[in-house]
Amino acid sequence: MIGYHYTTQKAWEAIREHGLFPGHIRPHELERFQNTCGMDMPQEAVWVWKDRLTVENAWVVTALLANIHNDFDLILLKVHYKAADSIPLNYKPNPEDTVKLSCNFSVGTRDTTGDMPIDLLMNHIPPDQVEPIWEGSLLEPLEYAHVCS
């Protein structure tokens, strides 16, 4: 299976060496996942997007990530994992169903569009199963504009 995970450049330095470890799920997210799944869940996981985000959705997600971590140097990782690494959701009538996030990410009046399916990974993912596929600074376009003025 393949998932996509946005992180900071600083976090990538550790992931590149040690792999991707589950981290603490913020309480409001954990509550939403538990309500969606209808079950108790581990309080630590890594979420990966099951599909690449649209440019607009990626902008919202990266803007929030940069704000949460106070770090504008971000990386998009492609994560290779097995179904056994993710939280089992076998209680649903359709085995193809997955936990989905709806439009709960927003920056000002802009929010994500549509449901964005994720997997929640409970297991350590070794470094050789994680690769960077994009990196950039969200401030770079603004730095250029500042120099030009």
pLDDT at residue 145, rounded to an integer? 65
Predicted confidence pLDDT, tens digits, the chain (149 residues): 999 999 999 999 999 999 999 998 878 777 777 776 666 677 888 989 888 988 888 888 888 889 889 999 999 999 999 988 987 654 444 555 555 544 445 556 666 656 677 888 989 999 999 999 999 999 988 876 666 65
Side-chain half-sphere CA neighbours of 51 within 13 A:
11
Contacts with 97 (C-beta within 8 Å, 6 or more apart), sequence order: 89
Listed in sequence order, the residues at least 6 apart from 92 whose beta carbon sits closer than 8 Å to its beta carbon are none
Q: How far is CA 25 from CA 12, 20, 53, in A?
A: 19, 15, 21
Using CB atoms within 10 Å of the CB of residue 60, give its burial: 0 to 12 exposed, 13 to 18 middle, 19+ buried.
buried
The full DSSP string for 70-126 is T--EEEEEEEE--GGGBPP-TTSSSTT---EE-S--EETTEE--S-EEEEEE-S-B-
The tokens describing 2, both together, are 């393949």
**What's the CA gap between 18 and 32, in Å, rounded?**
29
Instruction: Specify whether the CB–CB gap between 56 and 4 falls below 8 A.
Output: no
State residue 96's pLDDT score. Answer: 57
Q: What is the pTM of this model?
A: 0.81
The domain ranges of the chain are: 2-148
